């Protein structure tokens, strides 16, 4: 899909296909070589990476100037501090989607479900940067439905099919479903949530679609 989108946009892409049994050092070396290549402007490390690979080591081999997916520590810090740099891709897309539909985030209570370093945590930082009050929830959060029910904005990004039910939502809330699982379904029970939300992003057809 990424190669097809590059062709559509007139961007030259190069696929580096490594053996499944590659070591972390080999993956990092391949990424590092691309970082040093002046002909390469951006690097995307396809994830999830096989379990035996240290994903963070692979990400950190990307030069910050070429981290177009916003996955390095440098990009994460830049997002948090409001400095120039690449934002994490999916959170950046969600902010753009909210802007497109005129959702004012200032002063709103946003609940982010998920704390991954490339989605949940950067999403929370970008929402804070827009003056939202942010609560991050995860698998250990107590009384999750009650926490979600207090939110004006809900961003679901846990990869748990149908986790968020319609009666978890405040009437009129804005719901962004960034999850994706089997059967082309997301983290939010869409038919139920439509009865409560003022705006909702469907799966498929919403974030990243």
- 0.85 cut: is pTM over it? yes
Helix spans in 55-199 (H): 55-60, 73-81, 89-100, 120-129, 144-149, 190-193
| 89-201 has the same fold as 2-81 | yes
Residue located via tokens 């409560």: 196
DSSP class of residue 166 equals G
- Do residues 157 and 122 touch, judged by C-beta distance below 8 A? no
The CATH code that applies to domain 89-201 is: 3.40.50.720
Q: Which helix (H) or strand (E) holds 110?
A: strand 109-113
d(CA 168, CA 2): 35
Rounded-to-integer distance, Cα 57 and Cα 72, Å: 9
Tens digit of each residue's pLDDT, the chain (209 residues): 889 999 999 999 999 999 999 999 999 999 999 999 999 999 999 988 899 999 999 999 999 999 999 999 999 999 999 999 999 999 999 999 999 999 999 999 999 999 999 999 999 999 999 999 999 999 999 999 999 999 999 999 998 999 999 999 999 999 999 988 777 789 999 999 999 999 999 998 888 66
Query: Would you state the structure tokens that stand for residue 65, as one six-digit string?
Result: 């100037």
- φ/ψ (deg, to 5) at 84: -60, 145
Domain spans in the chain, listed from the N-terminal domain onward? 2-81, 89-201
> What CATH number labels 2-81?
3.40.50.10860
Chain-centre distance of CA 153, in angstroms?
16
């Amino acid at each position: 899909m990424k190669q097809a989108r590059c062709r559509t946009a007139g961007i030259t892409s190069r696929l580096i296909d490594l053996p499944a049994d590659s070591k972390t050092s080999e993956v990092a070396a391949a990424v590092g070589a691309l970082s040093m290549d002046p002909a390469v402007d951006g690097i995307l490390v396809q994830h999830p990476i096989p379990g035996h690979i240290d994903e963070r080591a692979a990400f950190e081999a990307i030069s910050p100037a070429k981290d177009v997916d916003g996955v390095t520590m440098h990009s994460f810090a830049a997002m948090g501090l409001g400095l120039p740099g690449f934002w994490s891709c999916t959170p950046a897309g969600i902010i753009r989607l909210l802007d497109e539909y005129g959702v004012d985030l200032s002063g709103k209570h946003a609940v982010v479900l998920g704390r991954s370093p490339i989605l949940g945590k950067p999403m929370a930082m970008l929402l804070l940067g827009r003056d939202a009050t942010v609560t991050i929830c995860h698998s250990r959060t107590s009384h999750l439905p009650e926490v979600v029910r207090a939110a004006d904005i809900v961003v679901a990004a846990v990869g748990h099919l149908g986790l968020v039910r319609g009666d978890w939502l405040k009437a009129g809330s804005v719901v962004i479903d960034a999850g994706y699982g089997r059967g082309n379904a997301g983290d939010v029970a869409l038919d139920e949530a439509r009865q409560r939300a003022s705006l909702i992003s469907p799966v498929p057809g919403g974030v990243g679609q």
